[in-house]
Amino acid sequence: MSSPLAVFGSINMDLVIYSNHKPDEGETIFGNSFETFQGGKGANQAVAVSRLGSDVSFIGKVGNDVFGKQLQESLISESVNVEMLDSHEGESGVAFINVFEDIVENQIIVVSGSNAFVESQQVSKESLNQIDILLSQLEVPPKQIEDLFIRAKGSCFRILNTAPAVKISEELLKNTDLLVMNETELETLSGVTLESRNIDSIISSIKGLSLKNHQSIIITLGSQGVYVCQDQKGELINGHEVHAIDTTGSGDCFIGALASNYLETENLYEAALFGNKAAALSTTKKGASLSMPTQDEVENWFQTF
């Protein structure tokens, strides 16, 4: 059984060190704190959807180690449907994250572990028939995403968040209805280095992807907002000014909120407006999944705009 919105993706244990500044090469510094959080782009996006009140399934794999148990429990406690979450004989995925508090930046290194074994066949034909929106990212094998997206053609709206920045096949690109990526990922996929990070240069790079008319694309621009391009028309949605403390997972929050809103409204621009607000709010809290806002939090925050 699946929910109408399903995330096919990664789940990691995030091992996070907070420090004031970035150490120089070869330098040792003292950090301020160390915390562990449930993360992984796929799981973060599923938690974002669930906290916003939509029914969501997570399809992935955890290891048979101590992290695997904790990760599964954390998804259950977030009311995410885990019927298609499988266990792998081996280690769970982990992410080593450094958050530099003075510049509010992070660096992330992921070790895939069980995420490298996620398979399209974890989703049965019956479950696929129940899915309206299928969402994925590139922390699980792209070949498996491609297979699932081909199987889902015509019955699901397929969203691909091309993070992290890795090359994907023409087939996967062709079998995606909405692409969501940041500027670095756009450069990787289009093969075009953005000369200056302005909208004109983003538009030329998007053209380099040769998308079909029915395909839409959203470029996330960090604090600058998002650029939404559908039906050959593009619109910029400006970012919100907030007191950000940790941006880890804010892209995931945007995508989860976008997908959850789109499920209801089927209006991509409205969904991007909503996602943009939710993502800004998520940067005001620590952690990835932990920072995802609830519907009430976003609505109350809306009233201040």
Closest-approach residue to ligand RIB (CB)? 39
d(CA 276, CA 279): 5
Task: Give residues 207-236 in contact with ligand RIB (rule: CB under 6 A).
Answer: none
Total chain residues near ligand RIB (CB under 6 A): 16
Taking the complex as a whole, the smallest distance from the CB of residue 110 to ligand RIB amounts, in Å, to 5
Angle at 168 between CA 167 and CA 169, to 5 degrees: 130
Taking the complex as a whole, the smallest distance from the CB of residue 220 to ligand RIB amounts, in Å, to 11
Closest CA to 225 of 264, 197, 190: 197
- Minimum CB distance to ligand RIB smaller for 175 or for 275: 275
Residue 102 to residues 22, 86, 145, 245, Cα–Cα distance (Å): 9, 39, 38, 9
Question: Do residues 55 and 264 touch, judged by C-beta distance below 8 A?
Answer: no
Which one of residues 9, 14, 46, 114 is an interface residue with ligand RIB (CB under 6 A)?
14
Q: Residue 60 in 3-state DSSP?
A: strand
Instruction: Choose the stretch contacting ligand RIB; rule: CB under 6 A; options: 33-41, 51-59, 82-90, 257-265.
Output: 33-41
Task: Give residues 98-127 in contact with ligand RIB (rule: CB under 6 A).
Answer: 108, 110
Which one of residues 40, 63, 113, 142 is an interface residue with ligand RIB (CB under 6 A)?
40
Encoding tokens for residue 50?
């669930």
Tell the burial category of 158 from Cβ atoms under 10 Å away from its Cβ (0-12, 13-18, 19+). buried
55 assigned to active site:
no
Instruction: Choose the stretch contacting ligand RIB; rule: CB under 6 A; options: 6-14, 148-156, 183-191, 220-228.
Output: 6-14
Tally Cβ neighbours within 10 Å of residue 299.
11
One character per residue 246-285, x = contact with ligand RIB (rule: CB under 6 A): --xx-xx---------------------------------
Instruction: Choose the stretch contacting ligand RIB; rule: CB under 6 A; options: 7-15, 23-31, 118-126, 190-198.
Output: 7-15
Buried b (16+ CB within 10 A) or exposed e, 221-239: bbeebbbbbbeeebeebeb
- Minimum CB distance to ligand RIB smaller for 34 or for 302: 34
Taking the complex as a whole, the smallest distance from the CB of residue 42 to ligand RIB amounts, in Å, to 8
Question: Do residues 44 and 289 touch, judged by C-beta distance below 8 A?
Answer: yes
3-state helix, strand, coil in the chain (%, to 5): 35, 25, 35
- Minimum CB distance to ligand RIB smaller for 39 or for 152: 39
Which one of residues 2, 3, 44, 260 is an interface residue with ligand RIB (CB under 6 A)?
44
Query: Phi and psi (nearest 5°) for 12?
Result: -130, 155
- Minimum CB distance to ligand RIB smaller for 164 or for 239: 164
Angle at 267 between CA 266 and CA 272, to 5 degrees: 120
Which positions are annotated as active-site residues? 252
User: Could you list the residues that contact ligand RIB (CB under 6 A)?
Assistant: 10, 12, 14, 39-41, 44, 95, 108, 110, 139, 248-249, 251-252, 288
